[in-house]
Amino acid sequence: MRDVEHDEYFPQIPDPEEGTRWLAPTDVEQHLYRLIQRENSYAYLRTLAIEGVYYPVRREEVDAAGEDEFPMFSHERGGRVWVLVYTEGFLPRPHPDLVYEYANLAKLARIVPAHAEVLAVNAGTPCQELLAVDEEERDVWYDLSGDHADPDGFGSRVVTRRTGKGVPETGPLLHGLACGAHLCYGNGDPWNTLHWHGIGYRKEIERLSEWWGVDSRADWKDIQERLLTRRVSPWYWDFVLGARDALLPTHGGNGAAVGEAPWRDTVEATLRERVRRAGHDHHPGADADLDGLVVELRGLVGKIQRYEARFRTDGLLAPDGIVRTVAAWDVGRASKMARWGRGARYATEAEMYEAVERAGAGARAAYGSWEEFSAGYVLGRCLHFDEEEFGTWYTSVLAAHRALVTELDSPWLTVPFLGGAVRGR
């Protein structure tokens, strides 16, 4: 697989014209720009200690490197050896042959080559800062990282790219990106960029292997398709929810008024009827596996009702609201899987675009609003992980929901769910 060729190896962003206001990609770069104007290099470096940086490296060198080897790209300029690093908002379009790795300043102090003389931060942008590389400076990086770096401090925030070629206009791509907003919030990732580098090339590969068992392009293509076609979550979650839908006409369309007993009976009757139509004995006692599944699905009715009751209390659902489908649990993860695959270079640019757009289409086919989408996603996550403990698997995604329906930069306040004037890319 060979991805599209282009020459966007490093960011090239011109300085603003004199007297004009420059709009940075994110708040981090805006802050760094102000520090540049004030010539406050120490505060600039302290910000890098908090946020960390990304450094470019040839992909073939990374792939050949051992676990404790950290090749870096360096070049000579003005008779001195430069090493380039960038903050996340400036990262360019992913390239087939050049990747970006993430490092905090303590790691940077260890891995910058001994022959390097200049650390060029955000070179070619309005936020460029040149730092000397020597033992004393490395000690400063290490100490600042110890004081300010927090590996757990990046999550639980809405990050929006305000400018950049990787930010699509309103349309199917933007809507598809917004479907991954729960995960973007939890990880502190920018939700609206197609220039995806994640937590760095090797870490993206590790993420997919550890959490998804994805170790190759073929693995990625398989899980991406299964997420988009909603075949990762158990089929019977939506089967049980659909059984309640069948009872809505007799309850005035009010799903919250459907009692547990008739819902459970409908689930069992519908399941046994399917088995009968398939030509098998569907009567109780005839098939132990079928009887066991009936018990499980009848129990699932009560579990869903208890989750929905908690959702209403916590504002995830309206006082009489219900979840009609958990499609969002697979669709939302499909949106992020497209980007994770891109960061690991398992996905081509075109494949990522297609998958993101399909995720958005799947969400629009199943829901009528971001709030409905979110409730479906949260229920799916809870059924998958939480086991009715209402622990962090629930509370963390509840925090994401609340932020996404209130913060001004949230995609759910800026991207119309049904699109209105939806345009292609």
Q: Is residue 144 assigned to a domain?
A: yes
Contact 36, 126 (CB under 8 A): yes
How high is the mean pLDDT in each 10-residue block of the chain (425 residues)?
Answer: 82 91 94 96 96 97 96 93 97 96 97 96 97 95 93 89 88 96 96 96 98 98 98 97 93 86 96 94 91 96 97 96 97 98 97 98 96 98 96 97 96 80 30
Q: Is residue 385 assigned to a domain?
A: yes
Task: Considering only the C-alpha atoms of the chain, give the largest distance between any 2 of them, rounded to a whole number of Å.
Answer: 85
Based on the fold, state whether residues 308 and 338 are members of the same structural domain: no
> Rounded to 5 degrees, what are φ and ψ at 117?
-120, -25
Q: Is residue 352 assigned to a domain?
A: yes
Based on the fold, state whether residues 140 and 40 are members of the same structural domain: yes
Q: Is residue 10 assigned to a domain?
A: no
Quote the pLDDT of residue 165. 84
Q: How far is CA 69 from the centre of its chain?
A: 28
Quote the pLDDT of residue 1. 66
The alpha-helical segments, DSSP class H, found in 231-322 are: 235-245, 260-277, 288-314
Listed residues 287, 314, 341: the one ending a domain: 314
Contact 364, 176 (CB under 8 A): no
Contact 183, 207 (CB under 8 A): no
Based on the fold, state whether residues 176 and 258 are members of the same structural domain: no
Contact 301, 263 (CB under 8 A): yes
Please state, in angstroms and rounded to a whole number, the distance separating the CA atoms of residues 309 and 112: 54
Quote the pLDDT of residue 297. 97
Q: Which helix (H) or strand (E) holds 101?
A: strand 98-103
Per-position b or e across 93-109, b if 16+ CB within 10 A of its CB: bbbeebbbbbbbbbbbb
Q: Give one DSSP letter per residue of 353-364, joined into a string.
A: HHHHHHHHHHHH
Based on the fold, state whether residues 351 and 227 are members of the same structural domain: yes
Based on the fold, state whether residues 368 and 226 are members of the same structural domain: yes
Based on the fold, state whether residues 247 and 191 are members of the same structural domain: no
What is the domain range of residue 361? 172-233+327-414
Based on the fold, state whether residues 362 and 305 are members of the same structural domain: no
Domain count, the chain: 3
Based on the fold, state whether residues 37 and 128 are members of the same structural domain: yes
Contact 346, 218 (CB under 8 A): no
Please state, in angstroms and rounded to a whole number, the distance separating the CA atoms of residues 30 and 51: 13
Based on the fold, state whether residues 247 and 381 are members of the same structural domain: no
Fill in the amino acid letter for 132.
A
